[in-house]
Chains A and B, each alone.
Chain A
Amino acid sequence: MTTAVTGPVVTYGGRRPHALALVRTGLSEIWSRRRLARYLIAAELHKKGSDTLLGNVWWIMDPLLQMGVYVLFVSLVVGRAGTTADYPLFVFAAILPWKWFSSAVNDAILSVVARERIIKQVHFPKIILPVTATVSGVVNFAFGLVPLLLLMIAFYRERIAWTLVLIPLIAVVQLVFTLGLAIVLAAINVFYRDVGNVARHVLRLWFYLSPALYSAEQVSKLAGDLPWVATVFGLNPFSVLFQAYQAVIYHGTQPAWGALGILLVASLGLLVACMYVFQRVERAFAKVL
């Protein structure tokens, strides 16, 4: 026996691992490359901040300006803002998580194809890419809480309640749900480059079909004697999430824990399935890109 060989022995090719093993590999790869994930997130934030004149100030300004647009739109065009008290806060409670979700999905879709060159040059777990794209949105979301608090302190002091501390719990459910979607869409986009275009429109439609600018009660009232409408409406994950955010921010009440729990379990299932799909097609990325 000679001792010339140091380091690991790696074998490529051979039999395919089964489904659960693939998911487990994915998880351990993310964990073992957390340093890479951290660098990628830092790079992402650095770029988003330093590219613009106002830098990080935009993270705070953005949701405020968007809220202004929606409030103007609804009160001038639809003329319904009067029916909901403190409407700007109501809208803001949904805009904040939605901005995180939509930009995370959009970033994640491009995350793999944007790294085309390094994917063809270096062997690393590609699943890191959509995961970091999603997770780096958490920082933006956290920054968005600053204008939320400012808004509440300035105009809606009577609505400040202890339930605000529940926001991170709802955010965890949203993160799990977003991760699943982000991972699978990033993989599909490698094979079909129009996922980004489709997603943009689907996301817009999704936002308007979710109780962000209107409340869920208004929907069930409108649905009247068609109870299935409200049921279908309630199956939308963002119906659950927006109502939860509105509960803790706007109403100062506890969210519907049951619905959130179901959504969390379903999202975990979705995440595992999406990780499986990603890990399964990952080996083809370098060939297709």
Chain B
Amino acid sequence: MDDYSPPVDAPGGIAAPARPAHVRSGRATDLAIDAHGIGVRYNLRFTKKTTVRQSFAHLLRRREGPQHFWALRGVTFQVEHGESLAVIGPNGAGKSTLLQVLAGIIEPSEGQVEIRGHVSSLLTLGAGFDAELSGVDNILLAGAFMGIPDREMRRRLPEIVEFADIGAFIDAPLKTYSSGMRARLGFSIATAVDPDVLLVDEVLSTGDQAFRDKSRRRIEELIQAAKGIVLVTHDMGWVTTFCNRALLLERGQIIAEGDPAEVVAVHTDHMEQVRIEKEAEAARLRLQGVL
């Protein structure tokens, strides 16, 4: 995979550096994430909730349309320890798929990714929650799902409960919680685990204003604690404030990589272009309707 080169037909923007920062410093062991030519291919024959009947229908129409599509293709990048990388891009660009690959949830169809250190994913909060169980039980269950030793989870329990600030509710079943309480609990579980590599997907604006400030501080703390962070967000303020590097994904490929402000500018540019095209299209349709 060494001969991989970034997409040449990248429409505009900053060219992705072929060999990133760690080569300059010459300390390859400082890498938290080393992704090499990652491609993720989805098979369209098995999409959501297939039944046998639908499969037969697919079989009959076998040669119609593409059988698969690449959600990610040829994605190569590195994240050093202490670095915080923002991944931005339009909807459906493959940002979440990338996080899933980094978290080990999806096996890449091609390429390789090497992760050094414990990974914690703050993908969507409270995914593993069980409404019937109490807050404490859910914390322990979440820890067990994430593979954290039980002893450590119990040691961190007071801290998690403290941070989530749900008071006496911690012993009540989760179904009695408000959505804000659930989000707070999810956030404190995911960030209390002290990961080497933290993956965050659009969760920063959960809860009320007070908790938002608190979680913002917590993320800042994590970044300062020299952990590798990959952040997927639509909030460009976060990108420029907290990340020292950004990566623009479009249609599964890296379009631009580099200084957050510059990459954000490229992204905003592209979005503006898309918006103008859409408006032109809409206007054309309206015109057709009139005629």
Where the two chains meet, the residues of A that have a C-beta atom closer than 8 Å to any C-beta of B are 1-2, 4-14, 33, 35-36, 39-40, 43, 46-47, 50-51, 115, 117-124, 191-194, 283-284, 286-288
Question: Would you list which residues of chain B between 230 and 283 have a CB under 8 Å from chain A?
Answer: none
Q: Looking across the interface, which residue of chain A has its beta carbon closest to that of B151? A: A35
Contact flags B38-67 to A (C-beta < 8 A → 1, else 0): 101011001111111101000000000000
Q: Does chain A have a CB within 8 A of B115? A: yes
Q: Looking across the interface, which residue of chain B has its beta carbon closest to that of A32? A: B147
Q: Is the pair B115, A118 in contact by a Cβ cutoff of 8 Å? A: no
Residues of A within 8 A of B116 (CB): 5, 7-9
Q: Is the pair A4, B133 in contact by a Cβ cutoff of 8 Å? A: no
Q: In the complex the two chains form, what is the Cα distance from A194 to B105 in whole Å?
A: 25
Say whether, besides A192-B50, A288-B47, A14 and B112 are in contact (CB < 8 Å). yes
CB distance from A116 to the nearest CB of B (A): 9
Q: Is the pair A12, B81 in contact by a Cβ cutoff of 8 Å? A: no
Residues of A within 8 A of B110 (CB): 13
Q: Is the pair B30, A13 in contact by a Cβ cutoff of 8 Å? A: no
Q: In the complex the two chains form, what is the Cα distance from A193 to B51 in whole Å?
A: 5
Residues of B within 8 A of A124 (CB): 145-147
The 8 Å CB contact of B104, one of A2, A118, A123, A287, is: A123
Say whether, besides A121-B105, A123-B104, A36 and B50 are in contact (CB < 8 Å). no
Q: Looking across the interface, which residue of chain B has its beta carbon closest to that of A191? A: B46
Contact flags B87-116 to A (C-beta < 8 A → 1, else 0): 000000000000011011111101111111
Q: In the complex the two chains form, what is the Cα distance from A193 to B48 in whole Å?
A: 9
The 8 Å CB contact of B107, one of A7, A120, A194, A283, is: A283
Q: In the complex the two chains form, what is the Cα distance from A32 to B146 in whole Å?
A: 12
Q: Does chain A have a CB within 8 A of B188? A: no
Say whether, besides A13-B108, A36-B144, A284-B46, A7 and B127 are in contact (CB < 8 Å). no
Q: Is the pair A122, B106 in contact by a Cβ cutoff of 8 Å? A: no
Q: Is the pair B101, A12 in contact by a Cβ cutoff of 8 Å? A: yes
Q: In the complex the two chains form, what is the Cα distance from A68 to B212 in whole Å?
A: 59
Contact flags B150-164 to A (C-beta < 8 A → 1, else 0): 100000000000000
A-B residue pairs in contact (CB < 8 Å), sample of 19 = A4-B81, A5-B29, A5-B117, A9-B115, A10-B114, A12-B113, A33-B147, A36-B145, A43-B132, A46-B132, A46-B133, A50-B132, A51-B132, A115-B128, A122-B105, A122-B123, A123-B104, A286-B100, A288-B46
Q: Is the pair B51, A194 in contact by a Cβ cutoff of 8 Å? A: yes
Contact flags B119-138 to A (C-beta < 8 A → 1, else 0): 10101100110101100010
Q: Is the pair B107, A1 in contact by a Cβ cutoff of 8 Å? A: no
Say whether, besides A124-B146, A193-B51, A43 and B113 are in contact (CB < 8 Å). no
The 8 Å CB contact of B150, one of A2, A35, A117, A120, is: A35
The 8 Å CB contact of B30, one of A2, A35, A118, A192, is: A2
Q: Does chain A have a CB within 8 A of B140? A: yes
